[in-house]
Amino acid sequence: MKRLITALTTAAVIATAALAMAANPAAPLSTPTLKKTIASNGKPTLVFFENPNGAPCRAQKALLNKLVEQRKENFNIASVSTLNQEDQKGFYDYGIRSLPTLVLVDKAGKISRVFSPGIQNTEVLSSALDGLK
């Protein structure tokens, strides 16, 4: 039963991501961090939904830090944390149910890509950022 629930939840997350990508909707700006980061300077933004205490999220954060070093500020990172009360609406608005999850928002503030939950390597993220040009 537990496996069935997990499979259905995963399918729902994938369906939500596919819908978001197909419609290319505007990125919700439901938290102060998202408002500030996405609307700030016309750069693509990786929205990082995280639990700072979780090992997978800490591993993803380390990879994001490495990517920032490689990219020399060609994009923004907006962290949406389970520990920040102001961020809770962001999880709901983006339909995030599993962590870590990354969402790529283009320069115009539209959702470009919703990555599968889990750790994404720097090559995958670099390729997605390059695809926005």
Domain extent for 7: 2-130
Contact 119, 99 (CB under 8 A): no
Question: How far apart, in whole angstroms, are the C-alpha atoms of residue 115 and residue 49?
Answer: 11
- Asked whether the beta carbons of 76 and 34 are under 8 A apart, the reply is no
pLDDT at 118: 97
Instruction: Note the pLDDT of residue 39.
Output: 78
Specify whether the CB–CB gap between 56 and 23 falls below 8 A: no
Q: CA nearest 49: which of 103, 101, 115, 85?
A: 101
Which of the residues in the chain have pLDDT under 70?
A: 1-23, 133
pLDDT score for 6: 52
Q: Are 26 and 110 in contact (CB under 8 A)?
A: yes
Q: What's the CATH code of the domain at 65?
A: 3.40.30.10
Angle subtended by helix axes 55-71 and 122-130, to nearest 10? 50
**Amino acid 19: pLDDT:** 46
Per-residue pLDDT at 5: 52
Q: One-letter amino acid identity for 75? A: F
- Residue 8: its pLDDT value, please? 45
Minimal CA–CA distance to 16: which of 121, 91, 123, 88?
91
Q: What total number of domains does the chain contain?
A: 1
Rounded Cα distance, 37 and 79, in Å: 9
